[in-house]
C-alpha cells in the first residue's frame, strides 16, 4: 500500500486533461519509438513488460488463479494519439460515466477517477503515482486523464476512431420567388400588401374592380395600352396569383411578378404625386362637407372629391409601367398584372390611391382633423356674431304627421267632349287638321281612362297614319283632305296614292283589312278550297288561285281571304294590276261579291 501525501492540493476537474494536452504538444514533433516509455512510464510496442502481478505466460490475476486472456501487443504509437487521448479524457470529465445499479461502486475521486485527498483512503487503495488499481472483479481502473467508461467494457487505448456517419441529404424544397414583403419596414409612407390567392372568376371575364375609382384606374390603364393581348395576358397573370406582395410608396407600386422564366421580374407602376397646393385644395374640399370625412373613414371615395379641381384619379397616359423583362410593350403583361392587382387594392382602401399621390393615411387624417376643428371654430364664431333667427325645433319638424286620405276619383264622362274650334291664321296650321288631332286625342284619353288601355299604342307609324287619314270625314282625295294626306304620306315615306289605297282597306276591315291589302299568306286547306266549288255552283267562271287570293279569269274582280276567315273583295280595271278594296267583308265568298257590278 502506498502512503498518501497529506499536503497535496486536491485535483480540479480538467487538470489531467490540460496536463495531457501540454505533454501532447511537447511530444507532437516526434512519434514514440517501440519500447520507449510513455507518459505513464510504460514501454510501448513489443518491449512493454507485463503488468504487475500478472505472469507473462499465463495471464492470471494474482491471488485469484483465474486465467485472463493475454493482451495483444499494442500498435506503434502514431502522431496525434496523445492529443486524441487528451481530448477523450476532457470529454470524460465533462460527462460522468454511467454505472449499472448492480455494479460495484467505483472509487470516489475529483471527477477523474483519483481518490479525494480530503477522504481517508481505504486499506489497499493505491495512490495516483502507484500502479493502476483494479475493481473487486479484477477489471483494471483507468488512470487520471483517461476517458471514463463502463467498468464492465473498457475501451482499448489505441482503438481507431470510428468513421463519421454519413450526413442525411438535405431536403429539397421548391424555390420560392423573391418577395418585396417587409412588414417591419412599413410605415405611413410605405405599405406592403401580401399576395392574394388565385381567383378563377377573374380569368373568366368577371369585373376586376367594383368601385368607381377602381374602374377609373382600369380605364386609365386600358386607354394608354398599345396592345389588348398583353392586357388580357396580364389579367390572367393577376387572376392566377403570379403577383407577389405589393409595396406602395408615394409615386409608385412595386412587386415581383412571375412569368414564363423561373426568375421573377421586378415590376413597378409610377404615378405623379400631387403638389402642396393640390393637397390644400383637396383637404379644403374634404372639410367642406362632414360626409366626406365619414366616407373616407368607411373606405369610400365620394364623387365630389374627384371634381374639386385636383387630378386625383389617373388619366390616359398617367400610369408609367416599368419592368425588368425583355418585353418592350406598353405595358408588358407583368406590369398589366400589377395594375390589375393594384385596382383591387384601391377597391378595398382608397387611401392606397392617396398614398400613390404622395401622402399617407395618418398624415391625411391628422390634416383633416386640424382643418375640421378650425372650420368648426369659424362656423361657431359666425353663428355667435349673427343674431339668432326664429326657427322650429328639430323634434317638432320630424314629428310624424297623419295625412288625410285622398278623395275618391271622379267618375269618367260617358263620352269624350268636343274640342274647341281653332281659328285659321295666315301661315298657320290647317284648323281642320288641328280639330281632327284634338278629337282623336280626346277619344284615346277617354278609352285609356275607362278601360286602362290605349287602343292605338301597339300600332306602327304607318298604321297610325292610315288610321288618322281614315278618320278624316269624306272620301277620296278631295281638296279639304289633300293637304292632310300629303303631310301624312311625307311623314311615313309613302305616296298619297298608297295612303289612299290603305285608307280604303282600313275603312273596309280596320287593321285586319290593312293586313289583307299588304301581306299575302298561305291559308290552310279547308275554307279556301271550298270557295272555288261554291263559285262554280253560282254560275261564275273558275277563279285562279294564288296564295290567299282568288282572281277572276278576266282579271277585274278578286277575292282575298283574311286571317279572320273573312273574304275581302277587290276590284281593278280589266288587264291592269291595280286592286282597290270594295264592298264589305263576308264569311261567304258569294256574299263578298254582292254589290260588285260587271261580273259575268
DSSP state for residue 330 in the 8-state scheme: S
pLDDT in tens, 118-162: 444 444 444 333 334 444 444 444 443 434 444 444 444 444 555
Report the C-alpha gap between 46 and 425 in whole angstroms.
154
**Structure-block grid coordinates of residue 296:** 373616407
Among 68-72, 297-301, 412-416, 437-441, which is the least confidently predicted range?
A: 68-72
Q: Which residues pair with 192 in a beta bridge?
A: 247
- Shortest CA distance to 316 belongs to which of 222, 212, 207, 211? 222
- Shortest CA distance to 88 belongs to which of 167, 141, 174, 159? 159
Predicted pLDDT of residue 270: 94
pTM of the model: 0.38
Kind plus residue range of the DSSP H or E element containing 366 = helix 361-385
pLDDT in tens, 10-36: 567 667 778 877 877 776 555 544 444
DSSP state for residue 465 in the 8-state scheme: H
The top-scoring range by mean pLDDT among 87-101, 347-361, 396-410, 437-451 is: 347-361
Find out whether 238 and 258 touch, Cβ atoms under 8 Å: no
pLDDT in tens, 214-227: 899 999 998 888 88
- Shortest CA distance to 514 belongs to which of 455, 590, 462, 557? 462
pLDDT in tens, 225-280: 888 889 999 999 999 899 999 999 999 999 999 988 889 999 999 999 999 999 99
The top-scoring range by mean pLDDT among 175-179, 391-395, 490-494 is: 490-494
**Burial readout 555-577 (b: 16 or more C-beta within 10 A, e: otherwise):** ebbbbbbbeeebbbbbbbeeeee
Q: Which residues pair with 187 in a beta bridge?
A: 190
In a 3-state reduction of DSSP, which class is residue 60?
strand
Q: How far is CA 468 from CA 433, 434, 462, 481, 564, in A?
A: 10, 12, 10, 11, 23
pLDDT at 372 over 90: no
pLDDT at 428 over 60: yes
How many CA atoms does the CB half-sphere of 543 hold within 13 Å?
A: 31
Amino acid at each position: 500500500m502506498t502512503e498518501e501525501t497529506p499536503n497535496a492540493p486536491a485535483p480540479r476537474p480538467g487538470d489531467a486533461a490540460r496536463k495531457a494536452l501540454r505533454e501532447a504538444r511537447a511530444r507532437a514533433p516526434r512519434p514514440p519509438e517501440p519500447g520507449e516509455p510513455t507518459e505513464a512510464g510504460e514501454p510501448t510496442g513489443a518491449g512493454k513488460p507485463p503488468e504487475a502481478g500478472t505472469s507473462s505466460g499465463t495471464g492470471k490475476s494474482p491471488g485469484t488463479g483465474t486465467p485472463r486472456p493475454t493482451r495483444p501487443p499494442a500498435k506503434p504509437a502514431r502522431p496525434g494519439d496523445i492529443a486524441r487521448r487528451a481530448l477523450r479524457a476532457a470529454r470524460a470529465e465533462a460527462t460522468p460515466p454511467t454505472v449499472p445499479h448492480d455494479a460495484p461502486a467505483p472509487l470516489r475521486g475529483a471527477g477523474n477517477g483519483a481518490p479525494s485527498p480530503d477522504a481517508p483512503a481505504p486499506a489497499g487503495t493505491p495512490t495516483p503515482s502507484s500502479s493502476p488499481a483494479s475493481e473487486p472483479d479484477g477489471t483494471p481502473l483507468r488512470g487520471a486523464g483517461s476517458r471514463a467508461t463502463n467498468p464492465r467494457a473498457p475501451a482499448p487505448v489505441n482503438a481507431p476512431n470510428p468513421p463519421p456517419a454519413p450526413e442525411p441529404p438535405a431536403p429539397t424544397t421548391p424555390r420560392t420567388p423573391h418577395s418585396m414583403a417587409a412588414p417591419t419596414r412599413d410605415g405611413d409612407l410605405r405599405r406592403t400588401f401580401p399576395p392574394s390567392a388565385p381567383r378563377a372568376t377573374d380569368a373568366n371575364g368577371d369585373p376586376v374592380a367594383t368601385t368607381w375609382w377602381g374602374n377609373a384606374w382600369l380605364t386609365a390603364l386600358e386607354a394608354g395600352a398599345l396592345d389588348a393581348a398583353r392586357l388580357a395576358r396580364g389579367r390572367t397573370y393577376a387572376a392566377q396569383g403570379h403577383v407577389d406582395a405589393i409595396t406602395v410608396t408615394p409615386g409608385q407600386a412595386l412587386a415581383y411578378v412571375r412569368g414564363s422564366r423561373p426568375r421573377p421580374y421586378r415590376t413597378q407602376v409610377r404615378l405623379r404625386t400631387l403638389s402642396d397646393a393640390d393637397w390644400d385644395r383637396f383637404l379644403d374640399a374634404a372639410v367642406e362637407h362632414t360626409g366626406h370625412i365619414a366616407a373616407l373613414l368607411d373606405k369610400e371615395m365620394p364623387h365630389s372629391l374627384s371634381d374639386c379641381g385636383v387630378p386625383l384619379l389617373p388619366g390616359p397616359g398617367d400610369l408609367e409601367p416599368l419592368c425588368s423583362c425583355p418585353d418592350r410593350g406598353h405595358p408588358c403583361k407583368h406590369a398589366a398584372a400589377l395594375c390589375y392587382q393594384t385596382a383591387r387594392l384601391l377597391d378595398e382602401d382608397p387611401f392606397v390611391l392617396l398614398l400613390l399621390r404622395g401622402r399617407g393615411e395618418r398624415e391625411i387624417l391628422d390634416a383633416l382633423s386640424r382643418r375640421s376643428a378650425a372650420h368648426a371654430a369659424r362656423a361657431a364664431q359666425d353663428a355667435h356674431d349673427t343674431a339668432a333667427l326664429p326657427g322650429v325645433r328639430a323634434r317638432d319638424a320630424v314629428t310624424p304627421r297623419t295625412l288625410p286620405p285622398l278623395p275618391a276619383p271622379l267618375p269618367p264622362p260617358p263620352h269624350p267632349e268636343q274640342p274647341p274650334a281653332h281659328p285659321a291664321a295666315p301661315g298657320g296650321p290647317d284648323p281642320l287638321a288641328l280639330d281632327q288631332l284634338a278629337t282623336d286625342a280626346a277619344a284615346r284619353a277617354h278609352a285609356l281612362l275607362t278601360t286602362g288601355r290605349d287602343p292605338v299604342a301597339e300600332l306602327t307609324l304607318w298604321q297610325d297614319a292610315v288610321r288618322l287619314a281614315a278618320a278624316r270625314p269624306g272620301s277620296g282625295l278631295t281638296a279639304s283632305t289633300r293637304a292632310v294626306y300629303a303631310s301624312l304620306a311625307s311623314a311615313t315615306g309613302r305616296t298619297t296614292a298608297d295612303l289612299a289605297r290603305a285608307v280604303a282597306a282600313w275603312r273596309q276591315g280596320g287593321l285586319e283589312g290593312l293586313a289583307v291589302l299588304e301581306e299575302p299568306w298561305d291559308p290552310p286547306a279547308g275554307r279556301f278550297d271550298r270557295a272555288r266549288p261554291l263559285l262554280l255552283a253560282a254560275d261564275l267562271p273558275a277563279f285562279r288561285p294564288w296564295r290567299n287570293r282568288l282572281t277572276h279569269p278576266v282579271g277585274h274582280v278578286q277575292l282575298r281571304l283574311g286571317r279572320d276567315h273573312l273574304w275581302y273583295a277587290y276590284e281593278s280595271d280589266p288587264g291592269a294590276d291595280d286592286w282597290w278594296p270594295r264592298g264589305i267583308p263576308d264569311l261567304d265568298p258569294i256574299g263578298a261579291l254582292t254589290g260588285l257590278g260587271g261580273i259575268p
